[in-house]
Amino acid sequence: QKEVEQDPGPLSVPEGAIVSLNCTYSNSAFQYFMWYRQYSRKGPELLMYTYSSGNKEDGRFTAQVDKSSKYISLFIRDSQPSDSATYLCASYSGNTPLVFGKGTRLSVIA
């Protein structure tokens, strides 16, 4: 079992929909949680990060971590075609490199 599990999708939604992307992790030592966005044929780029449990909001994006259930979520409000990409969750404990999920491929249809 990988330390970070993520449903690969693909996920297809109409423009304007609310998107929910989710991951689970198994390592209780993980304290930092991140979401990366990867466009086709590009490297991943950091979208958001959170420390420990709680929510963090940045524009249309909200990251949520529930450490009690080891659950990581990313919500995208008013989704746009430009949000079409692969979204990767990642976690680490602070002393070790990031461990990534496999990524969820999202398509937002105009």
What is the contact surface with another protein in residues (CB under 8 A)? 2, 32, 34, 36, 41-46, 49, 88, 97-103
Least separation in angstroms between residue 21's CB and another protein is 15
CB of 100 to another protein, least distance (A): 4
In the complex with another protein, the residue whose CB is nearer, 17 or 105, is 105
- Backbone torsions φ then ψ of 83, nearest 5 degrees: -80, -5
- CB-based contact 72:6 (threshold 8 Å): no
Strand pairing report for 19-25 and 4-6: antiparallel
CB contact at 8 A, 22 and 81: no
Q: What is the nearest approach in angstroms of another protein to the Cβ of residue 99?
A: 8
**β partners of residue 56:** 63
**Nearest residue (CB) to another protein, 17 versus 84:** 84
